[in-house]
Chain A
Amino acid sequence: MKYLDAFKVLAKHRRDEIVVTSAGNSGQAWWAATRDSEATFYLDASMSLATMWASGLALARPELRIWAFMGDGAFCMNPGMLMVERAMNLPNLTHILVSNRVYGATSNAALPRSDNDYAAIARAMGLERVFAFAELDALDRGFPGVTAGNISGHTFVVLEVEPFSAAEQKLEQPPFDGPELKYRFGRHIEARTNCDIFGYRV
């Protein structure tokens, strides 16, 4: 399925979830699909760390539901993160592995292997709630059931997508510098949860 089409489906099914994007193309794709400037943290500077970052947030704010994207290039740099995610087993965190089988942010350069079975890797790491979608219709039908209701533990979802085309590579990057993004996002979290991140409220 097309990368952008998959993200439009996710955006359609999003309720109030907080989103964390990854190094790779997920920031561009999510910005194109949503133009979300408050409830998404575009963690582009983060090779292999978006879901660890999101795990810290999910631990700190159990009342929020978090979706964290991870490109498969980033995933391959730190697959051991799944051991930590399994141990934390946060029911409010969904790790969405976007598998385009390339390093999407670097001109679709080849991964060391293109036939990794990410769902099998996750299960071998001990994760139980593992789901995979390769077709748009299946994603549209199945994704709401994956993330809705009372979830018993950490959720891992693999999306098999096509790499960005040359035209898609030119999609706008989320137009925020780091500190602006931090404050936009942090103020949103403060407002949603009545917590105090920055030591003062505006």
Chain B
Amino acid sequence: MNASSDIAKRIVDELASCGVKLVASLPDNWLMNVIATVDRDPRFVHVAVNREESAIGLCSGAYLGAMGSAALMGASGFMTVIYAITKINYSYEIPLFLMLTLRGALGDHHKHHASNGLYLRPVLDAIDLPYQVIDEPGDIGQISRGYRHSRTFCRPFAVLFTRDLLRGADAHGGRA
């Protein structure tokens, strides 16, 4: 098992420990190991959705059926779901647990994520959606804390995974 797969396994085990059963996802290259690990893990029902808003709908409905859930998506996908979150999760006070990528931050190789680097966190702040950056393997336990926080306060909560965590640092610096 390489380092990235090991991290994915630890993230998925942490999710399972929260009682999460449904994982709705859209891909982001950084998340592919996590998504693949969820997909082959019988503790989960993995639903690959057509767009990120569908993941918000699925997870929110599952809550009213007492099923734990998580929505897994990239930063760009998150930027498309402001309507769904503010309408469904805020209007009805339905908790939602989001796992996102911290695109556009230090270590991202892709220029087209410049907008996410500039606006992802300001957008989260603008809609008062609390989040926790997960940058180190030792931070993975924050997933459970964030999940419980969303349930306690009946609001969304997001964890933002860095590239260094999910893919390891590149040759230009950072951790190996």
Are A and B a genuine interacting pair, yes or no? yes
Would A189 and B49 be within 8 Å (CB), given that A49-B84, A56-B59, A78-B54 are in contact? no
Q: For the side of the interface on B, what is the size category?
A: 20 to 34
B87 with A53: CB separation less than 8 A: no
Number of A-B contacts (CB under 8 A): 120
Q: List 19 A-B contacts (CB under 8 A).
A: A49-B84, A49-B88, A51-B57, A53-B57, A54-B61, A58-B61, A58-B65, A60-B62, A61-B66, A61-B67, A64-B65, A80-B50, A81-B50, A81-B54, A83-B50, A182-B93, A186-B64, A195-B65, A199-B151
Chain A nearest CB, measured from B137 CB (Å): 30
Selected from A57, A178, A196, the residue in CB contact (under 8 A) with B61 is: A57
The stretch that binds B, out of A38-46, A111-119, A137-145, A160-168, is A38-46
Interface size of A in residues (CB-CB distance below 8 Å): 41
A195 and B87 alpha carbons, distance in the complex (Å) = 26
Q: Are A182 and B92 in contact (CB under 8 A)?
A: yes
* Given A53-B60, A56-B60, A80-B50, residue A179 in contact with residue B92 (CB < 8 A): yes
- In angstroms, how far is the closest chain B Cβ from the Cβ of A77? 9
Chain B residues within 8 Å of A181, by CB: 92
Nearest CB in chain A to that of B66: its residue: A195
Could you tell me the distance in whole angstroms from the C-beta of A66 to the nearest C-beta in chain B?
9
Whether, in the assembled complex, A84 has its beta carbon less than 8 Å from a beta carbon of chain B, the answer is: yes
Which residues does A use to contact B, with CB under 8 Å? 20, 41, 43, 45-61, 64, 78, 80-81, 83-84, 87-88, 178-179, 181-182, 185-186, 189-190, 193, 195-197, 199
B105 contacts across to A, CB distance below 8 A:
none
Say which residue of B45, B50, B84 sits within 8 Å of A84 (CB atoms): B50
Q: Are the CB atoms of A197 and B51 closer together than 8 Å? A: no
- Asked if A178 meets B50 with Cβ closer than 8 Å, knowing A52-B58, A59-B67, A185-B64, the reply is no
Chain A residues lying within 8 Å of B88, measured Cβ to Cβ, are 43, 45-46, 49, 53
Interface residues in B63-95 by Cβ distance below 8 A to A read 63-67, 69, 83-84, 87-88, 91-94
Identity of the chain B residue whose Cβ is nearest the Cβ of A177 in the assembled complex: B91
**Which of A56, A80, A81, A193 gathers the greatest number of chain B CB atoms within 10 Å?**
A56
Given contacts A52-B57, A60-B65, 11 further A-B contacts (CB under 8 A): A41-B64, A48-B53, A53-B61, A56-B62, A56-B67, A59-B22, A59-B45, A59-B62, A61-B65, A87-B48, A178-B91
Bound CA–CA A35/B53 (angstroms): 30
